[in-house]
Amino acid sequence: MAMNEKSTFDGLKAPQAQLTWVKAAPVSAFAENGSGCVLHEGEQIAVFNFTDTGRWFACQNLCPHKQQMGLWRGLLGDQGGEPKVACPFHKRTFSLETGRNLQGEDLCVKTYPVKVENGMVYVGIETSEGQ
Amino acid sequence: MKNIVVVGNGMVGHKFNEKLLAKLPDGLANLGVCLTVIGEEPRPAYDRVHLSDFFNGATAQDLELAPPGWHAQQGIRLLTGECVTEIDRAARTVRTHTGRALPYDFLILATGSAAFIPPVPGMEHPGVFAYRTIEDLEAMTAHAKPGQRAAVIGGGLLGLEAAKAVLDLGLQASVVEFAPRLMPRQLDQAGANLLKAKLESLGIQILLGKNTRCVEAGPGGLTLQFTDEQALEVDMVVVSAGIRPRDELARQAGLATGGRGGIVVNDHLQTSDPQVWAIGECALHQQMIYGLVAPGYDMADAVAAQVAAALLGQPPSDRVFTGFDMSTKLKLVGVDVASFGDPFCEQTPHDVLLWEDRRRGVYKRLNLTPDGKYLLGGILVGEAESYNLLLQMVKNRMALPPHPEDLVVPPRAGAGPEAGAGVAGLPDGALVCSCEGVSKGDICQAIDKESLTDIPGIKKCTKAGTGCGGCVPMLNDLLTLSLKKQGKAVKRVLCEHFNYTRQELYDLVRINGESTFRQVINRYGTGCGCEVCKPAVASILASVHNELVAKQSVIQDTNDRFLANIQKGGTYSVVPRVPGGEITAQQLIVIGQVAQQFDLYCKITGGQRIDLFGARVEQLPLIWEQLIAAGFESGHAYGKALRTVKSCVGSTWCRYGVQDSVGFAIEVENRYKGLRAPHKLKSAVSGCVRECAEAQSKDFGIIATDKGWNLYVGGNGGAKPQHAHLLAADLDKATCLRYIDRFLMYYIKTAGPLVRTATWLNNLEGGMDHLREVVVNDSLGLAAQFEQEMQQIVDTYHCEWREVVEAPHLRAEFRSFINTPETDPTVAFVPERGQKRPQAW
Ligand SMILES: Cc1cc2nc3c(=O)[nH]c(=O)nc-3n(C[C@H](O)[C@H](O)[C@H](O)COP(=O)(O)OP(=O)(O)OC[C@H]3O[C@@H](n4cnc5c(N)ncnc54)[C@H](O)[C@@H]3O)c2cc1C
Ligand code: SF4
Ligand code: SF4
Ligand code: FES
- Residues B565-592: tens digit of each pLDDT: 899 888 999 999 999 999 999 999 999 9
Residue B495: predicted pLDDT: 83
Q: Give B38's pLDDT tier (boundaries 50, 70, 90).
A: very high
Distance CA B753, CA B744 (A): 15
Q: Give B418's pLDDT tier (boundaries 50, 70, 90).
A: very low
Q: Give A13's pLDDT tier (boundaries 50, 70, 90).
A: very low
Q: Which residues are CB-neighbours of B192 under 8 A, at least 6 positions away?
A: B181, B182, B183, B184
Which of B582, B659, B692, B710 is the pocket-test mutation for ligand 2 (most atoms within 8 Å of CB)?
Answer: B692
Q: What percent of chain B has pLDDT over 90?
A: 56
Which of B293, B336, B433 is the pocket-test mutation for ligand 1 (most atoms within 8 Å of CB)?
Answer: B293
Residue with the smallest CA separation from ligand 2 atom 5 is B648
Residue B589, exposed/middle/buried by CB under 10 A (0-12, 13-18, 19+)? Answer: exposed
Alpha-carbon separation of residue B36 from B4, B195, B656 (angstroms) = 6, 45, 73
Residues of B in contact with A70 (CB under 8 A): 558, 566, 570
- A42 and B CB contact within 8 Å: yes
Instruction: Estimate to the nearest angstrom the gap between the alpha carbon of A1 and the chain centroid.
Output: 18
Distance CA B195, CA B267 (A): 37
Report whether pLDDT(B240) > 50: yes
Residue B410: predicted pLDDT: 63
Kindly determine whether residue A88 and residue B559, on different chains, have CB atoms separated by under 8 Å.
Answer: yes
- Residues A51-105: tens digit of each pLDDT: 888 999 999 999 999 889 999 999 999 998 899 999 998 889 999 999 999 887 7
> In 10 A of CB B417, how many CB atoms?
10
CA dihedral for A87, B822, A44, A122, sign (positive or negative): negative
Q: Give A31's pLDDT tier (boundaries 50, 70, 90).
A: confident
Which of A23-27, B261-265, B793-797 ranks highest by mean pLDDT? B261-265
Q: Are A88 and B558 spatial neighbours (Cβ–Cβ below 8 Å)?
A: yes
Please tell me the number of the ligand nearest to residue B531's CA: 4
A56 C-alpha to ligand 1 centroid (Å): 66
Q: Are B154 and B162 spatial neighbours (Cβ–Cβ below 8 Å)?
A: yes
Distance CA B527, CA B505 (A): 16
Q: Which residues line ligand 1 (CB under 6 A)?
A: B 7-13, 38-41, 48-49, 51, 83-84, 110-113, 131-132, 158, 161, 246, 249, 280-281, 291-294, 296, 330, 468
A62 C-alpha to ligand 4 centroid (Å): 9
Strand partners, B7: B38, B109
Please tell me the number of the ligand nearest to residue A94's CA: 4
Q: What are phi and psi of B372, to 5 degrees?
A: 75, 10
Strand partners, B355: B364
Q: What percent of chain B has pLDDT over 70?
A: 96
Q: Which of B528, B559, B818 is closest, CB to CB, to A77?
A: B528
With helix as H, strand as E and coil as C, how does B636-651 read? CCCCCEEEEEEECCHH
- When pLDDT is averaged across residues B406-418 and rounded to a whole number, the result is 55
Q: Give B323's pLDDT tier (boundaries 50, 70, 90).
A: confident
When mean pLDDT is compared across B295-309, B656-670, B752-766, the lowest value belongs to B752-766
Distance CA A22, CA B840 (A): 32
Report whether pLDDT(B835) > 60: yes
Residue A17: predicted pLDDT: 62
When mean pLDDT is compared across B186-195, B281-290, B445-454, B701-710, the lowest value belongs to B445-454
Report whether pLDDT(B658) > 90: yes
Kindly determine whether residue B531 and residue A75, on different chains, have CB atoms separated by under 8 Å.
Answer: yes
CATH of A30-114, one of 3.90.79.10, 2.40.50.100, 3.40.50.200, 2.102.10.10: 2.102.10.10
Residue B435: predicted pLDDT: 76
Angle between the B661-672 and B733-750 helix axes, to the nearest 10 degrees? 40
- Residues B145-181: tens digit of each pLDDT: 888 999 999 999 899 999 988 988 889 999 999 999 9
E strand or H helix at B62: helix B60-63
Q: Give A6's pLDDT tier (boundaries 50, 70, 90).
A: very low
> In 10 A of CB B108, how many CB atoms?
28
- Residues B81-124: tens digit of each pLDDT: 999 999 999 999 999 999 999 999 999 999 999 999 999 999 99
Mean pLDDT of chain B: 89
Residue B483: predicted pLDDT: 79
More confident residue, B396 or B796: B796
Residue B551: predicted pLDDT: 64
Residue B159: predicted pLDDT: 93
The Cα of A43 is separated from the nearest Cα of chain B by a number of Å equal to 10
Distance CA B73, CA B681 (A): 55
Residue B317, exposed/middle/buried by CB under 10 A (0-12, 13-18, 19+)? Answer: middle
Kindly determine whether residue B819 and residue A39, on different chains, have CB atoms separated by under 8 Å.
Answer: yes
Distance CA B538, CA B547 (A): 10
- When pLDDT is averaged across residues B263-286 and rounded to a whole number, the result is 96
Kindly determine whether residue A42 and residue B554, on different chains, have CB atoms separated by under 8 Å.
Answer: no
Q: Are B676 and B543 spatial neighbours (Cβ–Cβ below 8 Å)?
A: yes
B663 C-alpha to ligand 3 centroid (Å): 30
Report whether residue B710 contacts ligand 2, using a CB cutoff of 6 Å: no
Residue B839: predicted pLDDT: 81
ipTM reported for the complex, 2 dp: 0.81
Residue B721: predicted pLDDT: 85
Q: Give B491's pLDDT tier (boundaries 50, 70, 90).
A: low
Domain ranges of chain A: 30-114
The CA-CA-CA angle for residues B723, B729, B734, to 5°, reads 110
Kindly determine whether residue A74 and residue B518, on different chains, have CB atoms separated by under 8 Å.
Answer: no
Distance CA B772, CA B712 (A): 11
- When pLDDT is averaged across residues B446-475 and rounded to a whole number, the result is 81
Residue B581: predicted pLDDT: 95
Report whether pLDDT(B532) > 60: yes
B797 C-alpha to ligand 3 centroid (Å): 29
Strand partners, B150: B173, B236
- Residues B55-71: tens digit of each pLDDT: 877 888 889 999 888 99
Report whether pLDDT(B360) > 50: yes
Q: What percent of chain A has pLDDT over 90?
A: 56
- When pLDDT is averaged across residues B731-749 and rounded to a whole number, the result is 95
The Cα of A54 is separated from the nearest Cα of chain B by a number of Å equal to 11
Pairing of strands B231-234, B362-368: unpaired
- B322 and A CB contact within 8 Å: no
Distance CA B635, CA B660 (A): 23
Residue A12: predicted pLDDT: 44
